[in-house]
Structure 1
């Protein structure tokens, strides 16, 4: 998991070639992370299931946690809970990413205040299972992503794909796409595997998302170390910013491992 690296200009920030599969406005997140003041209490906001991870964006502009990102490879012990009273929720553990602005691990719970926990949980584990199959046998040394220039994402990045490859995504439960002016993209590729190894960068389109439109949309630089700041030029890298060796972990849970429990 990475803290405060997946938001920009009041919206969500995704990688090049990453696609948003599900958008849900009305999530409540609860964390239990020792030594992490950002994790205290319930957080209200929006949740995104993408081809590479789960992203939470806070709706409270004063919260120290404006976003967090959970790549599928960092998830552990994911379960679906169906209490007799109260909203259904998804729970699990998450491991920190290298250079993710925090260290260690934390437990999380996702409360779906308007329903949809079962469908979201099943889709999330299906995506995690597909992504784990695309994990390289010998991953290269981890390199922190260079966010670089960001721009308004083209519609294919957040609209339902017209492709049978994604026919398992429950769009009947989650038909709403995020607002067009709330999705931003960096030119950096995802630093971890996604569900489709053949996904190519989105081509320039005739409706304004060409190179000039990208430059006009956001000729600024985003620094994850200063999540509330935007720069007119790229800030210098921190001293000694060397990449550590790749830290291998167990693959995420398989799709058929999702469990339903009644409290």
Structure 2
């Protein structure tokens, strides 16, 4: 788990995306997302933008709005993702909720410093469209990570450009599958220094707040 992981420009369209880690394969990208999290030692972060699902993590990138200028992105490792729940409130947008904490051994990293002291609770709100393609791939990846399965995996299909052969594609889900892996523009890497003692602005008017319960919910892995 990290605040402001390294970003870079995608060579295909010059948009920002998470700089790939060693052995990481990107699976899909989803736009029109609201992100919110409660930090272990108090305070909240929020933003509006896109998230990327990979074989190792979910990374939110604030592209449209953010609670503060020095909050650009947030990484959720699949290895430490706990109690993921997809909820469909009667009133309000669908959202994914869960908790996470830094990966063991990364506690001294600068990007993990704001997240020490306990679990970070997060919400990813889908402002439009369905989620079946995303959910199927997410929970399959979580199962593979927990089982430490290295063969015939979603990650392997992503690396080989075969996601369209193994993923259930829901026409109502606007998630974009990676049929080839993105490459970073040389020298485009950027990382924003997060000031832990700086205040965060409240969400702007019109920033939807997830309705906590009150609708259908799905918890596949607890």
* TM score, norm. by length of structure 2: 0.64
Superposition RMSD in Å: 3.6
Residue 8 of structure 1 corresponds to 8
Cα 1:106–1:51 change in 2 (3 A) is same
Unaligned runs of 5+ residues in structure 2 are 10-14, 151-156, 195-217
Residue correspondence of structure 1 range 176-215 to structure 2 within 5 A:
176=176, 183-184=182-183
Residue correspondence of structure 1 range 12-23 to structure 2 within 5 A:
12=17, 13-23=19-29
CA–CA distance in structure 2, aligned partners of residues 170 and 92 of structure 1: 24
Q: CA-to-partner distance for each residue in 1:37-95, whole Å, 9 max, x for gaps?
A: 4x33x310101111111111111476322111111111011111111011111101111
CA–CA distance in structure 1, aligned partners of residues 188 and 49 of structure 2: 25
CA–CA distance in structure 2, aligned partners of residues 125 and 161 of structure 1: 20
- Is 1:50 the counterpart of 2:54? The answer is yes
CA–CA distance in structure 2, aligned partners of residues 73 and 43 of structure 1: 23
Residue correspondence of structure 1 range 20-99 to structure 2 within 5 A:
20-35=26-41, 37=43, 39-40=44-45, 42-59=46-63, 60=65, 63-97=69-103, 98=106, 99=109
Contact 1:81 1:89 in 2 (8 A): yes
CA–CA distance in structure 2, aligned partners of residues 14 and 22 of structure 1: 13
* TM score, norm. by length of structure 1: 0.55
Higher-Rg structure is 1
CA–CA distance in structure 1, aligned partners of residues 170 and 24 of structure 2: 18
Contact 1:123 1:170 in 2 (8 A): no
Residue correspondence of structure 1 range 96-245 to structure 2 within 5 A:
96-97=102-103, 98=106, 99=109, 100-102=112-114, 103=116, 104-134=118-148, 161-162=161-162, 167-168=166-167, 170=169, 172=171, 173-174=173-174, 176=176, 183-184=182-183, 217-219=185-187, 226=193
Contact 1:21 1:50 in 2 (8 A): yes
CA–CA distance in structure 1, aligned partners of residues 170 and 186 of structure 2: 30
Unaligned runs of 5+ residues in structure 1 are 137-156, 186-216, 228-255
| Cα shift at 1:162 | 2.5
**Counting strand residues as a fraction of each chain, which structure ranks higher?**
2
Cα 1:86–1:71 change in 2 (3 A) is same
Query: Which 4+ residue blocks in structure 1 deviate beyond 6 angstroms?
Result: 157-160
CA–CA distance in structure 2, aligned partners of residues 84 and 77 of structure 1: 21
Residue 204 of structure 2 corresponds to none
CA–CA distance in structure 2, aligned partners of residues 170 and 6 of structure 1: 30
CA–CA distance in structure 1, aligned partners of residues 160 and 94 of structure 2: 25
Residue 189 of structure 1 corresponds to none
